[in-house]
Chain A
Amino acid sequence: MDWYRVYALVIKEFLAVLRNKASRMVLIGPPVIQLIVFSYAATFNLRHVPMMVYNEDTGGASRQLIARFQGSPYFALKGMLKSSRRVADIISDKQALMILRIGPRFSRDLALHRAARVELIIDGRNSNTALIALNDVNTVIQAFSTEWAGAHGWRAAPAVLVTRSWFNPNLRSRWFIVPGVVGLLTLVVAMLVTGLSVAREREAGTFDQLLVTPLNVWEILLGKALPGFLIGGLEATLIIVVAVLWFGVPFTGGVLALYLGLFLFLLAAIGVGLAISSASATQQQGLLGAFLFLVPAIILSGFATPIANMPVAVQYLTYLNPLRYFLVILRGVFLEGDGMGMLWSQYIPLLAIGLVTMTTATWLFRHRLT
């Protein structure tokens, strides 16, 4: 291994990526913008759910219940209905996500210590939003119920739930999503830098020239991989700093544990990128390959939907996905205070994937030579 030759190749690779103004912009601008936009956008905490109320009751109890919805940041009261005539139109035209109907006997039933019934109609087109909104409605009504029972001498329940959530006491989904976005964008950047690097040379015909230079296959591979490590590492650092300083996500674990994870993750991601790149003859094929890897890697990583919910066969498939392990490392280090000792079960698969893909990339290099 001649380090001077590798150094020259690295410089050449950097120039190839950074010389073009547009490609420079694409590498630096979008990841930061995306981090900010996606971190604000990707939330499962509902706010301002548009709702309407159809109140047939004239007593004070129903007004107290409605006031609770008005005072809650989770709901936005869009109007009071005078009749049930427009209910179907309002829901199907998406003017409101839900309609709360309070029957005419609501206050009277409560005064007589009978269960008072309310009806909720909700748009289930997005079933997850519907489920969360249902939960939020139940929370408001349960709080009203408990208070009413206490204030008016109803019988107490034999047991109550006292719930605490660890690591994320207010259940802010942003704390879950932002570390995920760090992993996501690092993967995208690493694939962008390495995914087309060999294919580009092959299409331009300069790859043959590279092969007749004194560089051996390993030196070429290293020269192609190092820019990915440097750019990926720097971008990841930038994104982590923004996550901590801008979004205030707590960083409770070890920095070294995170960077060991980042290094191994980049090894695996760059290995995949180079393998795809060396297998393709044109840039279009390289791009297609990068896409065909990236998209499932993001969906099947546990970034937005938990791996445990997937069918068992798909769960086994996720063991091949480097992002899966890196997300556990990121969330562990950010929220759960993990050090290196807790994360070996994630480091080792990453290392294995990295070694296999790098070897494959080298083999494809040689294979394409002959």
Chain B
Amino acid sequence: MNAQRLRGLIRKEALQILRDPSSIAIAFVMPFFLLLLFGYGVSLDARHVPVALVADHATAETSAFFAGFRQSPYFRPRTYADMAAARQALMERRVDGIIWLRSSFTRRAVRSATAPIGVIVNGVNANNARIIKGYVQGVWGLWLGTQAQERGESLVVPVDVRSRVWFNPALRSRDYLVPGLIAVIMTLIGALLTALVVAREWERGTMEALMASPATIAEILIGKVIPYFALGMGGMTLSVFMAIAVFAVPLVGSLWLLFACSALFLLTALGMGLLISTIARNQFVAGMIALVTTFLPAFILSGFIFDINSMPWPIRAITHIIAARYFVSTLQTLFLAGDVWPVIARNMAALGLIAVFFFVVVVRISHKRLD
């Protein structure tokens, strides 16, 4: 390893970055733009769900029941005269659900004869449908309570669950989505930064020139990684700053640990980009591979939004080779739970292994290509 040669290579790479502004755009404009878009765009908290209210025979009791829906922030109710009209509205996606009180409701409810309340939800978006069902249950539970109170009885159900949610008591989905998004965005940026650089040299024929120089393969690769690593850490700093300042996500863990983990993760992402461009040797193919292997797997297989435990075991096995999986878990823990060493040490060990794997493979392949 020759420090002077290395410095020369880093200088060359830095000049190249400065002359083509697209790398700088990838490192700074992209995280800013994407985090803003995702932070506001991705939300699983359903609010103002449009529902149709239908009472076959409107009475004081039916309006007392419907009042719960009018007061709830989760619903935007609309009254329909009959089921035919409400069904039409559901078919045309103007409402997501129907609450239907039959004509016998008042009579049976007054006599405590267990009146059925018809609830129909549009099940196409199954997750949303389940959330809506939960909200309807909440309104129904409140109504049962007031009914019992009016009659001077106390409402007794056999088992009463008290649940406590740790680390995110208000269940704000943004608090866990934003740290996850940082992981997804950094996967993308890390791989994109390096995916094209080696491929470009091969395509232009300058790789042979570099190899003919006294610089070793390791020096060439380190010379390429260091400037992009600096760029990537800049983007990471920007993302963390935005998470705290713009999205008000609490950072419970320590900042230095967050940056140490990010640095390790960035190395795996850059290593993956280098591997892609070394294999492809062609910018078009390298770009396509980077597109296909980074963003979507990081989005879907990292546990960022879909629960890994619920996946079938072959898919669970695949998630172990996705670096973003470990980073998502680390970031969610650092932001919301604090410095939980067992979780972080586990994830960092995995990331370290992946990084070493990528760089060893890249050096090996490059050596072979020299001959």
Contact = CB atoms under 8 A, between A and B. Distances in A.
B43 A41 contact: no
A288 interface: yes
A128 B161 CA distance: 19
Instruction: Name, among B65, B108, B119, B123, the residue most crowded by chain A CB atoms within 10 Å (CB to CB).
Output: B123
A196 B115 contact: no
30 contacts: A23-B285, A37-B301, A40-B315, A41-B311, A44-B126, A92-B340, A110-B158, A117-B162, A118-B162, A120-B164, A124-B168, A128-B176, A135-B130, A137-B161, A138-B137, A155-B156, A159-B108, A159-B115, A159-B116, A160-B114, A161-B117, A162-B117, A167-B124, A168-B129, A171-B126, A184-B296, A188-B296, A192-B291, A283-B283, A299-B42
A294 interface: yes
A135 B162 contact: no
Nearest to A29: B292
Interface of A: 20, 22-23, 26-27, 30, 34, 37-38, 40-50, 65, 91-94, 97, 110, 113-132, 134-135, 137-138, 141, 144-145, 148-149, 152, 154-169, 171-173, 175-176, 184, 188, 192, 196, 200, 282-285, 287-288, 290-292, 294-296, 298-300, 304-306, 308-311, 314, 331, 335-336
Interface stretch (B31-39, B221-229, B232-240, B256-264): B31-39
- 3 nearest CB pairs, A to B: A165-B123, A168-B123, A124-B168
Given A121-B166, A162-B117, 15 more contacts: A40-B314, A40-B315, A116-B160, A124-B171, A132-B307, A137-B163, A155-B112, A159-B116, A160-B114, A160-B117, A161-B117, A163-B120, A165-B126, A166-B120, A331-B124
Contact of A132 (B119, B130, B332): B130
A244 B144 CA distance: 44
Contacts of A284: 20, 22, 196, 200, 283, 287
B156 A113 contact: yes
Nearest to A133: B307
B321 to A, nearest CB: 12
B309 A26 contact: no
A162 B116 contact: yes
B318 to A, nearest CB: 6
Contacts of B288: 23, 26-27, 192
A148 B158 contact: yes
B16 to A, nearest CB: 11
Per DSSP, chain B at the interface is helix
A196 B287 CA distance: 9
B204 to A, nearest CB: 10
Interface string B118-132: 111111111111110
B318 A47 contact: no
Given A156-B112, A176-B127, A306-B125, A299 B38 contact: yes
A168 to B, nearest CB: 3
A221 B171 CA distance: 50
A282 B20 contact: yes
Interface residues of B, number: 115
B140 interface: yes
A296 B318 contact: no
A293 to B, nearest CB: 12
Given A118-B160, A122-B164, A131 B285 contact: no
Given A160-B114, A164-B120, A331-B124, A144 B159 contact: yes
B282 A295 contact: no
Contacts of B188: 291, 295
A42 B306 contact: yes
A113 B158 CA distance: 7
A161 B110 CA distance: 16
A134 B289 CA distance: 39
A55 to B, nearest CB: 14
B85 interface: no
